[in-house]
Structure 1
Amino acid sequence: MDEKTAIQALDRKDRMLPLSPGRAESHGFEYERNGTLSLFAALNVATGEVLGKTAPRHTSARFVAFLTEVVSAQPRGEEIHVICDNVSSHKTDAVQTFLVDHPKVSIHYTPRIRPG
């Protein structure tokens, strides 16, 4: 499981220019910025299924909400092992409460890399 924060939602300012013989489709280079989103995604390594969700911000509450969706998408009673990084939103009291409420879910954190 991982998340990508601050994905920019962009629209092109200019319309697409039509194809013509010997010329590829083209468009302007300017963008209109529409804010940012965070993307949460989880890969089920047994099936190859990817679950994803966007959110306006990356918070612990949104992480727990995504964990809840991941658990509900799996067969009841299955053990679920979540591998994620050490970002602070993965280690809050809300996450610990979720884990207590869902004893078949385990979170494994990737090792931290310390400078040499």
Structure 2
Amino acid sequence: MPPEPEQPERYDFEYKRNGTVNLFACFQPLAGWRHIEVTERRTKADFAKQMKNLVDVCYRDADVIRLVVDNLNIHTPSALYEVFPPEEARRIIQKLEFHYTPKHASW
């Protein structure tokens, strides 16, 4: 429909979904540090690989890495045991300290 005189032209917008991705965001606000990784899925294997990267690459000299995560089913230490051999999973988990947001909390 053409615009009325003296009115700007208007366009209708229809959103077309072209797929989805997962965004892993790790950050240390007081240090101004962040690590972002986009993955095609959000699986326990993807989470376990991110935790290994935090321990072995990002914070390899840290004694403990404190994580604040929500209650998503993949955010568990058991995810590492499903992906890595028990010794490797245990090594990674020993450096991680999980803190979960309240179950009905909103980000």
User: TM-score normalised by the shorter chain: which range applies?
Assistant: 0.5 to 0.7
Match of 1:49 in 2: 33
C-alpha distance after superposition, 1:60-83 (max 9, x if no partner): 110111112222212424311001
Distance between the aligned counterparts of 2:13 and 2:54, measured in 1? Answer: 38
* Structure 1 or 2: more strand by fraction: 1
Matched residue type, 1:101: R
What one-letter code is carried by the residue in structure 2 that aligns with 1:106? E
> How many matched pairs?
88
CA RMSD of the aligned region, Å? 2.7
Give unmatched runs, 5+ long, in structure 2: 1-11
Question: What TM-score, normalized by structure 2, do the two folds share?
Answer: 0.65
The one of 104, 108, 114 equivalent to 2:95 is 104
More helix by share: 2
TM-score (norm 1): 0.61
Moved over 3 A (4+): 28-34, 95-99
Q: How far apart are the structure 1 equivalents of 2:97 and 2:89?
A: 7
Residue 61 (structure 2) pairs with residue 82 (structure 1)? no
> Greater CA radius of gyration, 1 or 2?
2
- Give 5+ residue unaligned stretches, structure 1: 1-27
Q: Please give the secondary structure, in 2, of the residue aligned with 1:41.
A: strand
